[in-house]
Structure 1
Amino acid sequence: MKVFSKEQIYEGDKVTEERQKLPPSELMERAGLQIFNWMHMRMQGAQVPIHIFCGIGNNGGDGLVLARHLITHGYNVETYVVNCGNSRSKDFLTSYDKVKEVTKKWPQLLKCESDFPEIHKDDIIVDAIFGIGLNRSIEDWIKALFHHFKASEAFTLSVDIPSGLYTDKPVEDVNGVVKANYTLSFQSPKLVFFLPETADYTIQWEVIDIGIDREYLMTTDTEVELISKNEVLPIYKPRTKFSHKGDFGHGLIIGGSYGKIGAVQLATRSVLVSGAGMVTAYVPECGYLPLQTSLPEAMVMTDIDEKKITDINFDITPSAIGIGVGIGTDTSTIQAYEAFLKSNKVPLVIDADAINMLSENKKLLKLVPENSILTPHHRELERLIGTWSSDFEKLEKASTFSSKHKVILVIKGAHTITVYGQKKFINVTGNSGMSTAGSGDVLTGIITGLLSQKHLPIEAALFGVYLHGRAGDLAVEEFGYQSLLAGNIIDYLGEAYIDLFKQPEQAQEEVKTEDKA
């Protein structure tokens, strides 16, 4: 799913009006009607007090259209105009006049704190004050209104975006943003729904279709995309009846040090479970027995050193290599790493201390092959690209780094974001239970396994992140958030593959069957 920028949304509105020959307020009518349909389907005429707070721009106009439909269908509605300026938009005024035609109870004008209405916990608030066009600071009395919403504990529904939240820059004042329980976003979600600093301003979101021109939506390229099942299904490669292990590549995991062989075990096992035909682990001598006994399906090669990697020397021809899990940053390991990078011609997945060694020795970045996949967590990314003042700056720096060094960055997090030049791909799978030791090692193995199967690097990164998160989502249903282990994610990779081909109704039926059992 594409995530359109603010400028593209405005352009889409303009194109739609021109191509569909719409009157100026028609898109506002569509938006308000769709929000009404969403509420009406869920409320079915319930007489819960609904407080609709409208700004004086087009977002407020959407709220007025909603109010009109709710009023004509007999709902208990109170409508307010938040007087946040002197200039009303034309479409807002059109919608305002239409509301006056259907009720004698005209919208109340709010100008200061003394005008705030009483709101009870069981009421519903509709926030239609500011939309994506907000470009100025918010007055203190309006911030107080937002606090009034929060203090009431009433369910808050935001129209398109929580008021006070920008689409393209960080929040200036945390008290100047509505905390929404639910946001109905027009045509596509907003990037800020997925960034750590801004995601908490809406607990849930949903996209509603307001009829933006289909050709525009299909042909317009966006810098940001959401990656879900629909996006990864075309990446999947089915197997033929007469295929054999040699068709699915040979993955190599290089890593480990004394006390950290478990990281290699997790990554190596993940290579196989993700579908690679063969896998070899290259570890210090101390890792030989643990790996041979715990993972009989894998082959093991060892460094001459007992406790750390000092010389990366192997006589196999791997299809892809994952390097860095548990490897440490000993001086001799850095030297071995540099020598390896100078001679390597195989697609790479670079993780953990292999990233940290690049950060500490920037000259090594010149040796990293094009389209290598780096999988940093927060601190590793900070060491690699430098500090940032906001999530927007972080993504900008990540894009600059990716473009400069021609690599793919997989920024791990609640919504893992894969950065490929100026493109950003946001993953929708995964959960907080995966915040556990070894989860990143599993991801390294999955992506290495997919690379081994001749997926393009960007495909391997996107598919790997999706499968990793989906396996975690399936596993957490059995183990819970606190007790989920990295190994459980591997155990559910097969289920994640099967889940790719389940229809939504099939998945729902299985849940019902489990509930009955």
Structure 2
Amino acid sequence: MKLFSKEQVYQGDKLTAERQKISSTDLMERAGMQIFNWMHMRMQGAQVPIHIFCGIGNNGGDGLVLARHLILDGYHVKTYVINCSDKRSKDFLINYDRIKNVTKDWPTLLSCTEDFPEIHQDDIIVDAVFGIGLNRPVDDWVKSLFIHFRKTKAFTLSIDIPSGLSTDKVLEDEDAAVWAGYTLSFASPKLIFFLPETAKYTIQWEVLDIGLDQEFLYTTNTEAELIGKHEVLPLYKPREKFSHKGQFGHSLIIGGSHGKIGAVTLASRAALSAGAGLVTAYVPKCGYMVLQASFPEAMVITDTDEEIITAIEFDIEPTVIGFGVGLGTNTKTISAFEAFLEKNKIPLVIDADGINMLAKKKTLLKLLPENTILTPHAKELERLVGAWKDDFDKLKKVKAFSKKYTCIVAVKGANTITVFGDKLYINTTGNPGLSTGGSGDVLTGIITGFLSQGYEPLEATVFGVYLHGRSADIAVEDFGYQSLVASHVIDYLGQAFIDLFKQPEQPTEATEQEQEKA
């Protein structure tokens, strides 16, 4: 799913009006009606007080359309206009007149000096104050209103975006925005829904189709894409009946040090479970018995040193190398890494201490093969690209880094974002159960396994990140967040693959009858 920028949304609205020969007021009516349909389907006429707060721009106009339809359908509605400016949009004024024609209870004009209306915890607040066009800090009075919303503990529904937020920067004052329980977004979700510093402003979100021009939606390229099942399914490479292991590559996992051989075991198991034809682990001598005993499917090559890797020499021809898990950053290991990079032409997936070594000695970055894949967590990323002031600055730095070194960076997090040049691929799978040691090693192995089979580096990363998270989502149903461990993610990879082809279950007649009774 594409994530349209603010400017692209405006362009889409304009093109839609022109090509469908409708006015902007008609498009606003369509948007407000879709919000009404969403609420009506869930409320079914319930007489819960609904407080709709409207700004005086187009977002407020959407709120007025919603209020009018709710009133006409018999809902208990109270409408307010945040009357702190004389600058009203044309479509707002049209819908302000329209709502006055359907009710004697005209919208209450809230001036910047008045007290706030009384709202109870069981009421509903609809936030239609500001839209995506807000480009200035909110007034203190409006900020106090937003704080009032939170204090009531009433369910808050935001239209398009929680008011007070910007689409391209992080708020310095978290009280200067609405904290929504749900946001109904037009055309596409907003990037801020997926960033650590801004995702907290809406618990859930949903996209409403307001009938924007289809050609615009399909042909417009966006900076960011949301990755779900429909996006990764076309990437899947099926296997033929007479295929054999030699067709799916040979993954070499280089890593491990005394006490950290488990990381290599996890990555190696994950690579094979993701589909690699063969897997070899390259470890210090201390890892030989561990791997041979715990993972018999893998082949093992050892360094001459007992506890660390001091040289990287092998007589096999791997398709791809996964490097860095459990490796440590001993000076001898760094020297071995540098000597290896100077002659290596094999595609790389680098994680953990491999990234830490690159950060310690940044001249090594110039030796990376084109389209090398890096999978840092937040602290590793900071060592690599430097500190950032906020999430947008972080993405800016990662994009610059990716372009400079022609590499792919998977920025791990609740919504892992794969960055390649100026493009962002935002993952939708995964859960807090992945906050456990070894889950990153598993991701490294999965991506390595995909690359081994012939997936392009970007495909391998995007698909690997998705499948890693989806496996955890399936596993967590059996283990819960706290008890999920990294090896569970490997164990459930098969179910994650199968899930790619599962159709949503259709309710049976009995289920539908039960729902009607409920």
Does the pair score TM above 0.5? yes
TM-score by length of 2: 0.97
Distance between the aligned counterparts of 1:366 and 1:304, measured in 2?
28
Letter of the 1:326 partner, please give it: G
The 1:169–1:241 alpha-carbon spacing in structure 2 relative to 1, beyond 3 Å, is same
1:384-422, CA deviations, whole angstroms, 9 ceiling, x for partnerless residues?
000000100000000000001000000000000000000
- Structure 1 CA distance for aligned equivalents of residues 38 and 278 of structure 2: 51
Residue equivalent to 1:437: 437
Give me the whole-angstrom Cα distance separating, in 2, the residues matched to 1:368 and 1:292.
Answer: 31
SS where residue 205 of structure 1 aligns? strand
* Aligned-partner residue type, residue 20 of structure 1: Q
The CA distance in 1 between the partners of 2:172 and 2:26, in whole Å, is: 33
User: Which SS does the other structure have where 2:114 is aligned?
Assistant: helix
Secondary structure in 2 matching 1:242: coil
Task: Tell me the equivalent position of 1:466.
Answer: 466
Q: Where does residue 268 of structure 2 map in the other structure?
A: 268
- Three-state SS of the structure 1 residue aligned to 2:24 is coil
1:227-266 matches, cutoff 5 A: 227-266=227-266
Offset at 1:448? 0.2
Is 2:303 aligned against 1:303? yes
- The reply to whether residue 216 of structure 1 matches residue 216 of structure 2 is yes
Distance 1:501 1:112 in 2: 55
2-side partners of 1:144 and 1:403: how far apart? 43
Aligned to 2:132: 132
Amino acid at match of 1:438: G
Alignment-derived partner of residue 312 in structure 1 = 312
Secondary structure of the residue aligned to 1:253 is: strand
Corresponding residue for residue 14 of structure 1: 14
Structure 1 residue matching 2:157: 3-state secondary structure: strand
CA displacement, residues 100-132 of structure 1 (integer Å, 9 cap, x when unaligned): 010010000011353311000100000000000
What is the match of residue 426 of structure 1?
426
Deviation digits for residues 323-374 of structure 1 (CA, Å, limit 9, x no counterpart) = 0000000010001000111111111100001001111101100100110000
**SS of 1:61's equivalent?**
helix
Query: When the two structures are superposed, what TM-score results if normalisation uses the length of structure 1?
Result: 0.98
CA distance in 2, matches of 1:23, 1:475: 50
Q: 1:437-467: CA deviations, max 9, x gaps?
A: 0000000000000000010000000000000
Residues 468 and 128 of structure 1: CA distance in aligned 2, closer, same or farther (over 3 Å): same
Match of 2:159 in 1: 159
In 2 relative to 1, CA 393–448 (structure 1 residues): closer, same or farther, beyond 3 Å?
Answer: same
Tell me if structure 2 keeps the 8 A contact 1:253–1:280.
yes
SS of 1:424's partner is: strand
Q: For residue 173 of structure 1, what is the amino acid of its counterpart?
A: D
The equivalent of 1:62 in structure 2 is: 62
**What are the ranges of 5 or more consecutive residues in structure 2 without an aligned counterpart?**
513-518
Match of 1:204 in 2: 204
Amino acid at match of 1:262: G
1:177-192 maps to which residues of 2 (within 5 A)? Answer: 177-192=177-192
Q: What amino acid sits opposite 1:192 in the alignment?
A: I
8 A Cα contact 1:187 1:210, kept in partner: yes
After TM superposition, give the deviation of residue 27 of structure 1 in Å. 1.2
**Secondary structure, counterpart of 2:203 in structure 1:** strand
Give the CA deviation at 1:506. Answer: 6.3
**Number of paired residues?**
511
Q: 1 CA distance for matches of 2:507 and 2:272?
A: 26
State the match for 1:293 in structure 2. Answer: 293
In 1, Cα distance between equivalents of 2:380 and 2:508? 39
Instruction: Give the aligned partner of residue 483 of structure 2.
Output: 483
In 2, Cα distance between the equivalents of 1:495 and 1:411?
Answer: 25
Offset, 1:481:
0.3
- Cα separation, 2, equivalents of 1:387 and 1:126: 38
| 1:197-235 alpha-carbon deviations (Å, 9 max, x no partner) | 000000000000011100001000001000000000011
Whether contact under 8 Å (1:178, 1:201) holds in the other structure is yes
Which residue identity lines up with residue 458 of structure 1 in the other structure? Answer: L
Query: Which moves more between the two structures, 23-32 or 124-133?
Result: 23-32
Retained in 1: the 8 A contact 2:84–2:112?
Answer: no
1:170 Cα deviation from its structure 2 partner: 1.1
Task: Identify unmatched segments of 5+ residues in structure 1.
Answer: 513-517
Within 2, Cα distance between the matches of 1:172 and 1:387? 17
Aligned to 1:515: none
Q: Is the 8 A contact 2:160 2:185 kept in 1?
A: yes
Q: Secondary structure of 2:383's match?
A: helix
Deviation at 1:507, TM superposition (A): 11
Tell me how far apart the structure 1 counterparts of residues 56 and 504 of structure 2 sit (CA, whole Å): 41
Verify the 8 A CA contact 1:113 1:145 in the aligned structure 2: no
State the partner residue of 1:365: 365
Identity %: 70
Match of 2:101, SS? helix
Q: Paired residue for 1:77?
A: 77
Corresponding residue for residue 515 of structure 2: none
1:508–1:353 Cα change, 3 Å: farther
Match for 1:132: what amino acid?
I
What letter matches 2:155 in structure 1? F
